[in-house]
Amino acid sequence: MNAPYYVPPLEDMRFLLEEVFDLSGVFGQPPYEEISFDIARAVLDEGGRFAAEVLGPVNARGDAVGAQFVDGEVRTAPGFIDAYRQYRDGGWVGLDLPPEYGGQGLPLVIQAGMAEMVTGSCMAFSMLPLMGRAAARLLIGHAEAALRDTVVPRLAAGEWTATICISEPQAGSDVGRTATRATPRDDGSWSLSGTKIFITFGDHDLAPQIIHMALARTPGAPVGTRGLSLFIVPKFDFAADGALGARNPAIVTSIEHKMGLKASPTCVLNFDGARGFMVGGEGNGLKTMFDMVNVMRLEAGIHGLGVGGAALAKALTYVTERLQGGNADAPPVPLVDHADIRRMIYTMRSRIEAMRAMMFETALQLDLAVTAGSAAGRATAREQAQWLLPIGKAFFTATGFEVANLAVQCFGGYGYIAEAGVEQYVRDLRVASIYEGTNGIQAFDLVVRKLLNDEGRRYGEFVARIRRDLEQHAARPDLLDIRSALADGLARLERVSAAYRALPRGQRRAAEAGAAAFLAMTGRVTSAWMWLRMAAAATGGSALHRRKRELAAFYASYLMPELLALEAQAMPGAARVDGLDAETLVSYG
- Cα 10 to chain centroid distance, Å, stands at 19
Closest residue to ligand FAD, judged by C-beta, is: 172
Interaction site with ligand FAD (CB under 6 A): 163-167, 172-173, 198-200, 258, 261, 266, 431, 434-435, 438, 440-441
Contact between 305 and 355 under an 8 Å Cβ cutoff? The reply is: yes
302 Cα distance to chain centroid: 4
DSSP states along 9-60? -HHHHHHIIIIIS--TTTTTSTT-TT--HHHHHHHHHHHHHHIIIIIHHHHH
Can you name the residues that pair with 254 across neighbouring β-strands? 268
Q: How far is the CB of 580 from ligand FAD (least distance, A)?
A: 17
Residue 307's nearest CA partner among 270, 355, 347, 346 is: 355
Q: How far is the CB of 266 from ligand FAD (least distance, A)?
A: 4
Q: How far is the CB of 66 from ligand FAD (least distance, A)?
A: 12
- Minimum CB separation from ligand FAD for residue 280, in Å? 17
The answer for 412, left when phi > 0, alpha when psi is -120 to 50, beta otherwise, is left
Contact 527, 351 (CB under 8 A): yes
Residues 8 and 117 sit within 8 Å (Cβ to Cβ): yes
**DSSP SS3 for 519:** helix
Cis preceding-peptide flag for 31 (omega within 30 of 0): yes
The minimum distance between CB 169 and ligand FAD, in angstroms, equals: 8
Q: CB-side exposure of 53: number of CA atoms within 13 Å?
A: 8
What distance in Å separates the CA atoms of residue 364 and residue 366, rounded to the nearest whole number?
5
Query: Based on CB atoms, which residue is closest to ligand FAD, 111 or 167?
Result: 167
Residue 228 vs 535, nearer CB to ligand FAD: 228
Point out the catalytic residue in the list 361, 423, 436, 567.
Answer: 436
Q: Is 436 a catalytic residue?
A: yes
* Helical H segments across 274-374, by residue range: 285-321, 339-371
Which CB, 178 or 522, lies closer to ligand FAD?
A: 178
CA–CA distance, 276 with 163 (Å, rounded to integer)? 14
Residues in a beta bridge with 163: 212
- Distance of closest approach, residue 259 Cβ to ligand FAD, in angstroms: 9
Question: 403 CB contacts (<8 Å, ≥6 apart)?
Answer: 308, 309, 311, 312, 347, 348, 351, 352
Question: Shortest Cβ distance from residue 228 to ligand FAD (Å)?
Answer: 13
Using the minimum distance from each CB to ligand FAD, give the nearer residue, 181 or 547.
181
The distance of closest approach from Cβ of residue 117 to ligand FAD in the complex, given in angstroms and rounded to an integer, is 21
Task: Give the residue with the Cβ less far from ligand FAD, 50 or 231.
Answer: 231
C-alpha distance across the termini of the chain, in Å? 46
Q: What is the smallest separation between the CB atom of 331 and ligand FAD, expressed in angstroms?
A: 46
Least CB distance to ligand FAD at residue 292 (A): 10
The rounded distance, in Å, linking the Cα atoms of 316 and 411 is: 10
Beta bridge partners, 516, equal: none
Cβ proximity of 151 and 139 under 8 Å: yes
Q: Which of 434, 463 has the CB closer to ligand FAD?
A: 434
* Residue (of 423, 424, 393, 388) closest to 302 by Cα position: 393
Query: What's phi and psi for 100, nearest 5 deg?
Result: -65, -15
Element (H, E) at 118: helix 108-121
Residue among 310 and 431 whose Cβ is closer to ligand FAD:
431
208 CB-side CA count, 13 A:
12
Positions marked catalytic: 436
